Each structure stands twice: as structure tokens, then as C-alpha cells.
Amino acid sequence: MSDYDGFGAMVAFWLVFLPILIVLSLAGYVIGSFFLMKVFDKAGVQGRWRAWVPVYNTMVFAKLGDLSPWVMLGAVAASAILGQVPAIGWILSLAALAVGVMASWRVGLKLGQEWPLLLLWLIPGLGPIIWLGILAFGASTWNPNVAPSPWQNSFLKDTTVWQGIPVQPAAAAAGPPAGGAYPPAGYPAPGAQPPVGPTGYAPPAPPSGYGAPTPPPAAPPSTTPPPAAPEPPTAPPAAPEPPITPEPPAAPEPPKP
């Protein structure tokens, strides 16, 4: 068999396999983005379009998982670039997978799922989509009040504030306020307590002759007597007496015989 025949066979193989691979990749992307959109809805993310933008959707997912989105972006870029290095490229390409598993573990906890469910990621290609489908259509609701992440005090923690994406409790405690800005100079942060003076410190005494301001004098009592009460109405006039009826005349006496 000549080299030309081997090259032709390889080209024929790719002409048949490549369209199938493209269709499967597009189908996986559409299904995965749809499941991710449902998860974002549960988490309160504003704007469903965020789930359909490649790379950006993984950064939003990282924020929900208490992981810095810039760490996620760096891991994805490093896996894509350094993954081409001979011999050790496949090891470097695992960076994105490791960061994705870390964020997925935190998102799963906030949706009531324990870590054993992450074993689905061991199924190449199909496993993460099944995992997302369980989170998307499960009956559990979003609960961000979970135990702090193990990387809470490292560079992996999320301190960013993006409009339209809920600030997780861990990010709110580690970074600026939820409004995305610190208070102006001279103003304490919301909830901050005023500083306490040193022990034994007393405020200076007021200068000599200084006292509390004199209150204004009381208004003098009014001397005008109140108006007299109105007199009660007079008694009504007596009713008129009934007219006197005259007595009828006496009957005439009968004639004497």
C-alpha cells in the first residue's frame, strides 16, 4: 500500500468523521448551555444570555462557586496553550478540569448535592452534561449559606463584583461591599463600629465659665379669663288657654193650664 493510498484513506476518514464530530459538539454545547441557564436562574443571575457566551459562562459559573473568574480564565487559557507542549501537555491541560471541579463542588453544595455526584465528571464528554442536568431540573433551591471554601484565604477566592450576578457570602466578606465600591474617605464601612478610645482616656473638661446652654424662659401664664358659658335658653311660652264655651240657654217652661 503506497503513501498516497494511506493519505487518501485518512482524508476520507476525516471527511466522514469530522461532520459527525461537529454536530455532536454543537449539540453538547446547546444542551450544556441550556442546563447552565437553568442553574443561573436558580442562583438569581440576571440575563439568561450569560449562559450562552463561551468562556464567559464558565467565569460566571466560577463566581457562583466562590472561585475567582480570573483564575478560571487563566486555567482555560493555560490548558489551551500549554496543552500542546509535548510529553507534559496533557498534565498541564488538567488545570481547567481541576478548577472546573472545584467550582462545581461549591455550586453543587449550594444546590443540595454532595461531592460523590462529581464522579459523573469521570465520564468523558457526557458526564458534565448529566451533572448539569441534575442540578438544573432537581427540586432543590439555591442556598449560598454553606461552609466557607478551603481556598477562602488564598488567591483563588472570588473578590470581584459584577453587575447582574449575585455576590456570594464568601465574596462579600472578602471583598468590597455589594455595591462594588468602598465608602468615601472619612466614612466608615457599612456595619463598622467606631474606634474605641484608649483605656483610661477621659474627654477634656470644658473651659472655665462654660456651662450647659440656658434653656429659654417659660411662657408667662395667660391672664385673660376664659369666656363665660352662654346662658341657657329661656323657657318656652305657656300654651294658650282653650276658649270658653258658652252654656246653652235653659228650656222654656211649659204653659200652666
Chain-centroid distance of CA 135 in Å reads 20
Domain assignment present for 32: yes
Instruction: Provide the pLDDT confidence category of residue 109 given band limits of 50, 70 and 90.
Output: very high
How many Cβ atoms are within 10 Å of 29's Cβ, its own excluded? 13
pLDDT over 80 (residue 199): no
Compute how many other C-beta atoms are within 10 angstroms of the C-beta atom of residue 186. Answer: 5
Residue-range definition of the domain harbouring residue 58: 3-174
Better-predicted residue by pLDDT, 185 or 132: 132
Residues in the chain, overall count:
257
DSSP class per residue in 100-160: HHHHHHHHHHHTT--GGGGGGGGSTTHHHHHHHHHHHHSS-------PPPTTTTSTTS---
132 is a domain residue: yes
Say if 84 falls within a structural domain.
Answer: yes
Residue 251 has a pLDDT of: 63
DSSP 204: P
**In the predicted model, is pLDDT for residue 148 greater than 80?**
yes
- Rounded to the nearest angstrom, the gap between the alpha carbon of residue 125 and the centroid of all alpha carbons in its chain is 33
- At residue 250, the pLDDT reads 63
The confidence score (pLDDT) of residue 234 equals: 61
**Confidence category of residue 33, pLDDT binned at 50, 70, 90:** very high
Distance CA 137, CA 56 (A): 23
Indicate the pTM of the whole model: 0.62
- pLDDT, one tens digit per residue, over 59-102 is 999 999 999 999 999 988 888 887 777 777 777 778 888 899 99
CA 192, CA 205: separation in Å to the nearest integer?
29
188 falls within a domain: no
Please state, in angstroms and rounded to a whole number, the distance separating the CA atoms of residues 204 and 191: 29
Query: What domain count does the chain have?
Result: 1
Does 251 fall in a domain? Answer: no
